[in-house]
């Protein structure tokens, strides 16, 4: 199955402003790319790329003191199957975890493990460790938070989402991964493209957020927002939480004038 994905974003800056953008898909997908990504800016300005501490591709540029449009587009091949479940995947004791997993056990900007630890153990501590316990966390978060675009707030933390019981996909992800970390299960934040292949069209097309949890010696995909297997997940970036991987990090004020994302199946 081939999926075409991309974005068109227009910003306005009152003065020249440095930007770091995380909009290109992760290197994990390199072998699946069938039409290489094309990236344009209007007006045309120089850009450079680098890899951050988490291995994400970042694009640096300086926006001019007027409108700037960022446009990217590519085509990728996926297997056309929903995300697999691994019910036999076991939790790994903290002492036996790989070193690189430990950072995903700790609190971070939007994930206050200290405030949610007791609640996590009260709700899930008696459950059998492993895949089923992580799924129970996602089931809880999926039912606990009401999805509402109009209630989106860029500063909402996992603890606030837990109490307010409302949010968008990033809030579902933050709360679920925080509860997993409280249970000593490494969990990391993911954003990327997720189209509506195989499901009814419900929401406007946007970037999506989900989580990856370390079980059975590998990172496994969970999605507390949708909470069903989905087809065609395309990873853009991974980090401890949304603070590590903003789509656009602006070192100065800017106004978002337009935002368009596309993800759809195409013929070979």
pLDDT at 31 over 90: yes
Mean pLDDT of 147-165: 95
Alpha carbons 211 and 213: distance in angstroms, whole number: 7
Tracing tokens 């993911």 back to the chain, one arrives at 190
Mean per-residue pLDDT, 59-80: 97
Structural domains of the chain sorted by starting position, each given as residue range(s) with its CATH number in brackets: 2-80+247-266 (2.60.40.2250), 94-239 (3.10.620.30)
Checking if the pLDDT of 203 tops 90, the result is: no
Q: What is the pLDDT of residue 202?
A: 62
**CA–CA dist 20, 41 (Å, integer):** 14
Distance of CA 261 to CAs 4, 7, 75, Å? 11, 4, 14
* C-alpha distance from residue 251 to each of 60, 62, 221, 248, 266 (Å): 11, 10, 32, 10, 37
Percent of the chain exceeding pLDDT 70 equals 99
- Provide CB contacts within 8 A for 119, sequence distance 6+: 162, 179, 182
Closest CA relative to residue 223, chosen from 237, 238, 236, 213: 213
């Amino acid at each position: 199955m081939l999926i075409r994905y991309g974005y068109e974003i227009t910003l306005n800056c009152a003065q020249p402003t440095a930007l770091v953008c995380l909009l290109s898909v992760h290197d994990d997908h390199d072998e699946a790319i069938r039409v290489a990504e094309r990236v344009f800016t209007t007006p045309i300005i120089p850009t450079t790329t680098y890899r951050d501490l988490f291995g994400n591709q970042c694009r640096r540029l300086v926006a001019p003191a007027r409108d700037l449009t960022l446009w990217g587009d590519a085509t990728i091949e996926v297997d056309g199957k929903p995300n697999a479940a691994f019910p036999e995947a076991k939790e790994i004791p903290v002492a036996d975890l790989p070193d690189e997993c430990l950072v995903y056990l700790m609190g971070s900007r939007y994930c206050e493990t200290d405030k949610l630890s007791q609640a996590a153990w009260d709700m899930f501590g008696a459950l059998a460790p492993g895949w089923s316990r992580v799924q129970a966390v996602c089931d809880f978060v999926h039912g606990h938070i009401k999805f509402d675009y109009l209630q989106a707030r860029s500063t909402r933390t996992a603890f606030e989402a837990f109490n307010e019981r409302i949010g968008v996909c990033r809030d579902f992800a933050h709360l679920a991964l925080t509860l997993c970390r409280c249970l000593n299960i490494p969990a990391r934040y993911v954003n990327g493209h997720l189209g509506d292949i195989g499901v009814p069209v419900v929401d406007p097309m946007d970037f999506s957020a989900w989580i990856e949890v370390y079980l059975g010696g590998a990172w496994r995909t969970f999605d507390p927002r949708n909470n069903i297997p989905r087809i065609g997940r395309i990873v853009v970036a991974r980090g401890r939480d949304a603070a590590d991987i903003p789509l656009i990090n602006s070192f100065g004020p800017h106004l978002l004038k337009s935002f368009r994302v596309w993800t759809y199946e195409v013929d070979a």
